[in-house]
Structure 1
């Protein structure tokens, strides 16, 4: 998929559009609390202004010797002060906390759905995209908090405007404070931009140090680290990555701090000069005693208000660290969804098969083709073996068939229909796969980890038993303390699985669908011993023949062990992304080409192993 197109829209405009949307979510999901916060904000503005006016009135009435009016004004000032304290307390404890929590959960759910429902996996395999995804962890609540800080900043600016209006009635020169207030705001914004760039620029180093820390504290990796005495080296690498991340962020924060200091220096100097001018006017008798109190009161309020405005805007702009990656994800998601043009559905049964028509593919962000002009038919009802050395493009071809990526050139057709013209969900419902880099789900039970292969039959005991049998995992289930209800990690009260047992779990998961048109096994037995591998391949060959008879299904087996694919109807040989040979096993051996060379090399290597013909079944007991 192409990289998202960046719209030439000002960041503030983009932020405002998002905050309006988040405010709408808050109103829909927490209407009472949202209205309460707006009421609190309005009350704070009114109460703060009322304090200054009441204080001026108190002094002026005392000078005029109207004691009753002075007492009334003083009571108004006291009530307003109390109201400010109470409303500020309510604002922090009840309003924003509850709203941020409630709305943040909604936004987090939406973010998870957005990431999980992306059809392709480019965002999971590109480091520059992963940097943004890393920053997004925990971002929704910060985005909601940033929005409410923006709302509060608006009310604070309203209070600031009213304060300046009152000061302007005493001395028009005080209106210049509006101009002076721009300096710290502009400097703060520039500082945030510097910090945001540093956060993204050091995300890879930060992710690396966290990964190394996880390795150092992981039970499985801990055994290897201690046996190999690699602990100091892991610690050194983690420390270097941490220093790199911190150094970049520290330098950015120092530059931002100096900018902010400069902005505040400009404001304080100008503010001091203006206050001196007002004091001189008061001494000359052009103002009342109440005006002097008003200026003093508003001066204190003004300092607090400007500081609050800058602080709130600072907090608001700090959300930009998360807003930019979040807006990038939305743009990426919108473009990915716009590229979903397919409206066809797969056939109920394959008749011709799947054809690669001069297919080439280059991973986004690189310039070296991984597949180059692959042209071949995978016949309906056949078992196809895909072989080649590591890095030859085998797993990439599987990704294209899974629609994780689209071909850079050429087309893939299913019974003559372009795969891109099919609905992705509909196609995936008719495919099943065990991938080379299969997932592990330690928080789940064994049954749940297998049932994920067909979520519609997650609770179907018969389907689960059939899938387990297909993967030759019955013995594994019998060894589990709670059978299929066993959780797959000691951290969650269960047991740990070996690598081979995790692979059998993945194979069982791939067998959950009963009627796929395409069944893909990418290095399905790489973590298993030879006897287990042979038994599983026998079962899957039987399954492939049944699926072929029922649906004309194609079974694609990717394997670097050529002895296991001899029973395939068609063998495809990839070399550096090119399809160099195709044919039956015997035909390719007789041809004496690349396949024959690789096969004979493996046969000689295997025959040289002591006792290679007597390898026992070493299926491990769960730990």
Structure 2
């Protein structure tokens, strides 16, 4: 919602909220900011008064001769002191403004990151509207309309200081003649208000072009980024990309340029509102002093203060408008995301167990099995079996169930393979198991308790997942692996043991800095890995999580970039090292899943076949047919391993 579309009351409330946020910057920086603002705000009036007093004493001294020059010492010193303080304030305020804004923005972004990263599910984050809120709320300026809450809060303090400047200079004017105050102040306020409205309108027009801005960025990135730049050159897309950039640039800026042309005309029309009252005030003050109706000091001070009135701008309203937009987006993000209370730290495991037990026994409709689980307060779950009980899931905006009343058991110590055609619901099943989506029907239990009642944060401590698109962090190999269990202190021995189990040790031996080699060519001494090598890093990350407490390991297409021999070796190690943890393997390679203890086939969101490889082949169903097709392709020499180069 654009800033100008909200009510005046909402605008006042959000500005008060910005001021309250200053507490995050700390008492000393904020106190310094307030003191500097007050001194800076009073300096113009003090300088005008000191100048008036000096001129008055100077004229008097000239009439008295050389003996009267001593009376100039005090007003001259006062004027020099005011000017010196003003210079000191100018040199100190910018670093102070930066410090306050930096601290406030740091606290704001930390809270925003916590809100986004601790939402119960990722369903809301996948909506384009929510991504738009995230982009605005993150307050990471990429153009002049995007300002941070810190900049907005500092700008509001500056605006309060400008009001103090206006009030103090009005007092100086009133000493000369009271009617000079409305003569100058009312037009000045009108000019400021009209200018602010103009900037506000400009702001809204610029924000209205964000769609064209994003489209332009797509083409700009395609032309400049290393990845797309290859195809741009190979396919001869250079000129086409440039034309698309120019087109979207014109579409974005056309209304802004039109408004700016009209704005320049309006600014010329505002000139009489400034020049007329200012000239009238200065002439009037000079006349009153010359006629002896006011002192020369008062007249001089009034003339100096008159110029200050029109040099006193309220601060850049764009800072406040941009900050208000970020806060409004943050509020909408809070409404869209299901953020739980602050998570329980790992050290408080006993309290978490008690909370888990209490949750499973509370509320209507709880089964006797779950009540029984609740009685084991403070103990580890007994059978650690995960059960999908009549689970269904439908994506928002769709009427087709991706998972449809699915029943499935994942038993401790078992290697379970989940197979099925593309679109059968395998990856969705993984996200449901991880609590990234919530079932639209049925429930998922662990040791008889609904994982939602256990608490998703606590449940995820028992779980480790390697997704198809796992994140490739620009960190060292060891750090990439240790991120598999960030809740516990890094354990280098466990990292290396997990790497050995994943077959990563052979890759590490070839790296220039071994486990400390950064996995990014942009880092000093860094390298990039092939797709298969990265998958071994991902596997090591999951195995590290198992070694540090995870009870359920899920591998979603973990070996698509590995050749068949390497894949076989990886799963042979996995079978050896899994211990009593449950391992769920999702793979399109049926030659590999034949090693599993149990294989389930997902079709249209349900388990349609279940058993060992031998049992399913004997049943001669869909699984047997798919296996025979893949086996025939393999005999013909087909290799479905997608490699993209290895390190040298």
Scaled to the shorter chain, the TM-score interval is 0.7 to 0.9
Tell me if the contact between 1:134 and 1:207 (Cα under 8 Å) persists in the aligned partners.
no
Quick one: distance in 1 between partners of 2:255 and 2:395? 33
Tell me if the contact between 2:432 and 2:438 (Cα under 8 Å) persists in the aligned partners.
yes
Quick one: distance in 2 between partners of 1:121 and 1:208? 25
CA distance 1:596–1:243, shift in 2 (3 Å):
farther
CA distance 1:491–1:314, shift in 2 (3 Å):
closer
CA distance 1:57–1:267, shift in 2 (3 Å):
farther
Structure 2 unaligned regions, length at least 5: 1-5, 345-351, 358-372, 374-378
CA distance 1:303–1:525, shift in 2 (3 Å):
same
Alignment of 1:245-260 (within 5 A): 246-247=249-250, 249-251=252-254, 253-254=256-257, 257=260
Instruction: Give yes or no for the alignment of 1:24 onto 2:23.
Output: yes
CA distance 1:293–1:540, shift in 2 (3 Å):
same
Shift of 1:141: 8.7
Tell me if the contact between 1:49 and 1:159 (Cα under 8 Å) persists in the aligned partners.
yes
Q: Return the TM-score normalized by structure 2.
A: 0.79
Shift of 1:506: 0.6
Q: Deviations over 1:428-477 (max 9, x none)?
A: 111112211122123x2222211222236664344223312321233223
Counterpart for residue 623 of structure 2? 595
Counterpart for residue 187 of structure 1? 198
Counterpart for residue 142 of structure 1? 148
Counterpart for residue 36 of structure 2? 40
Instruction: Give yes or no for the alignment of 1:274 onto 2:299.
Output: no
Question: Which of 318, 321, 332 pairs up with 1:317?
Answer: 321
Q: In structure 2, the residue corresponding to 1:374 is in which secondary structure?
A: strand
Shift of 1:190: 3.4
Quick one: distance in 1 between partners of 2:121 and 2:239? 36
Shift of 1:507: 0.6
Instruction: Give yes or no for the alignment of 1:421 onto 2:428.
Output: no
* More moved, 467-476 vs 8-17: 8-17
Shift of 1:397: 1.1
Tell me if the contact between 1:383 and 1:569 (Cα under 8 Å) persists in the aligned partners.
yes
Q: Deviations over 1:94-145 (max 9, x none)?
A: 4223444455445555544444444433465444433444452636993323
Quick one: distance in 2 between partners of 1:84 and 1:339? 46
Quick one: distance in 1 between partners of 2:123 and 2:239? 31
CA distance 1:163–1:260, shift in 2 (3 Å):
farther
Q: In structure 2, the residue corresponding to 1:600 is in which secondary structure?
A: helix
Instruction: Give yes or no for the alignment of 1:96 onto 2:101.
Output: no
Structure 1 unaligned regions, length at least 5: 1-6, 548-552
Quick one: distance in 2 between partners of 1:239 and 1:130? 27
CA distance 1:151–1:332, shift in 2 (3 Å):
farther
CA distance 1:325–1:257, shift in 2 (3 Å):
farther
Quick one: distance in 2 between partners of 1:56 and 1:251? 50
CA distance 1:371–1:498, shift in 2 (3 Å):
same
Quick one: distance in 2 between partners of 1:259 and 1:322? 28
CA distance 1:374–1:572, shift in 2 (3 Å):
farther
* More moved, 317-326 vs 280-289: 280-289
Counterpart for residue 186 of structure 2? 176
Tell me if the contact between 1:359 and 1:371 (Cα under 8 Å) persists in the aligned partners.
no
Quick one: distance in 2 between partners of 1:320 and 1:131? 15
Alignment of 1:601-620 (within 5 A): 601-609=629-637
Quick one: distance in 2 between partners of 1:591 and 1:146? 69
CA distance 1:461–1:166, shift in 2 (3 Å):
closer
Q: Return the TM-score normalized by structure 1.
A: 0.82
CA distance 1:489–1:372, shift in 2 (3 Å):
closer
Question: Which of 329, 336, 341 pairs up with 2:339?
Answer: 336
Q: In structure 1, the residue corresponding to 2:26 is in which secondary structure?
A: helix
Question: Which of 437, 444, 451 pairs up with 1:405?
Answer: 437
Q: Deviations over 1:367-414 (max 9, x none)?
A: 354623232121423332222222332111111111122123332122
* More moved, 148-157 vs 402-411: 402-411
